[in-house]
Amino acid sequence: MRVFNLPDLGEGLQEAEIVEWHVKPGDALESDQAMVSLETDKAIVEVPAPFAGKVEKLFGEPGTKIHVGAPLIGFEGAVKDTGTIVGDLATKTEVKATPAVRALARSLNVDLATVRPTGPGGTATTEDVKSAARGAPPVGQKAQKGMRASMARNMALAHQEVAAVTVIDDADVEHWAKGTSALARLARAIIAAARAEPGLNAWYDAKSDARTVRDEVDLGIAVDLPDGLLVPVLRNAHKIGSDELAAQLEDLVKKARERALSPEMLRGATITLSNFGAIGGRYASPLVVPPMVAILGAGRIERRAVVTKEAEIAAHRVLPLSLTFDHRAATGGEAARFLNAVKADLQG
């Protein structure tokens, strides 16, 4: 059997979950024909056939996680090494493990036959053995996967690494016309603020203690989904006209909800917008995900008593703003000026 292993998916991704097979054993495939849909931490991708051939075996049912380098599909024909792991692993009854992992299993009184291997090619890892030693998870407990697992890792990294500080303010948006897209106005305000105070539209490298101020505004838009959080990127937002912003943002959010985003659309943001107020809440302290330096959170628009320029009290629509920034890379003054510029554009 000629085995094709899961190729490198890029972006540091180490595994993918089978969503749907488009082929079955016995099918004859042409080169580049779609074989399977896989869900990574970031998107759903189609894997094409690497060459023409007849399918002999599928390594995994929908819902199965496959690690990079592990067998994905087998073709009829002579055995040929197409990656790091070759062979029919399903016919092997003994769990594969390194001597160190076997020693750990012995010390913890774990039978390797009971271990669910998650390493490349079905190899048991130390974490697999430790999980087996802890026993089965409580009833109802379910490991996070896909977007939620990715979100958990990113949030943990942000919490551990970033010196986060949040400043808040309010923008009076009573003058906004009916039907105004709050998302588009917020995006426009961020673009204007990045022009006025560019230091927050930047990346920070903790290892070299270096900040790179970006000329382009690649705006990340936080999108809440049932499976977790996605942050697609509106590339070169600063080059998009105000009249086009709403339509392009709407299209980006639609693609995110349909899981129709390419990996390119999920990386490289220079600053992020979280319009959580569309769901609820007034203020927040959103987390900055490295290497970005800042994220703007927008709360729920509601009527509040304000003092007008004529020194009168009136009920106006007010938009709460929360700007979290990495204090390692930006000063409080820079953050305050950026927020002032956001507010000025929203009220303009």
At residue 58, the pLDDT reads 94
Regarding whether 297 and 239 lie in a shared domain, the answer is: yes
**Statement to judge: residues 187 and 330 lie in one domain:** yes
* Count of the separate structural domains present in the chain: 2
Q: Please tell me whether residues 153 and 123 are part of one structural domain.
A: no
Pair 97, 157 in one domain: no
Token digits of residue 52: 């023409």
What proportion of the chain, given as a percentage, has pLDDT over 90? 57
Distances (CA, A) of 148 to 145, 232, 243: 6, 15, 34
**Has residue 80 got a pLDDT over 70?**
no
Half-sphere exposure (Cβ direction) of 15: Cα atoms closer than 13 Å = 17
CATH of the domain at 222: 3.30.559.10
Residues 177 and 226 in one domain: yes
Task: Name 36's Cβ contacts closer than 8 Å, sequence gap at least 6.
Answer: 18, 19, 20, 21, 22, 23, 46, 47, 72, 73
* Tens digits of residue pLDDT in 281-305: 999 999 999 999 999 999 999 999 9
Examine the pLDDT at 131 and tell me if it is beyond 90.
no
Do 88 and 124 fall within a single domain? yes
Same domain, 236 and 336: yes
In a domain, 200, yes or no: yes
**142 occurs within a structural domain:** no
* 145 contacts 17 by C-beta, under 8 angstroms: yes
On the CB side of 289, how many CA atoms lie within 13 Å of its CA?
21
Average pLDDT over residues 5-19: 76
Q: Are 130 and 108 within 8 A, CB to CB?
A: yes
Residue numbers of the domain that contains 249: 149-347
Confidence of residue 84 (pLDDT cuts 50, 70, 90): very low
pTM here is 0.67
Backbone angles phi and psi of 279, in degrees to 5 = -100, -45
- Residues 153, 295 share a domain: yes
Could you say which of 134, 159, 175 is where a domain stops? 134
pLDDT band at 81 (very low <50, low <70, confident <90, very high): very low
- pLDDT surpasses 90 at 93: no
3-state secondary structure of 238: helix
**DSSP calls for 101-121:** HHHHHHHTT--GGG----SGG
Residue 255 lies in a domain: yes
Which of 134, 160, 189 is where one domain is finished?
134
Tell me the C-alpha distance between 35 and 30, whole Å. Answer: 10
* Minimum mean pLDDT range among 61-70, 108-117, 298-307: 108-117
In 3D space, the residue among 246, 302, 304, 312 whose CA is nearest the CA of residue 278 turns out to be: 302
Q: What pLDDT, on the 0 to 100 scale, is given for residue 103?
A: 78
Residues 230 and 337 grouped into a single domain: yes
> Is 189 or 226 the better-scoring residue by pLDDT?
189
CATH number for 38: 2.40.50.100
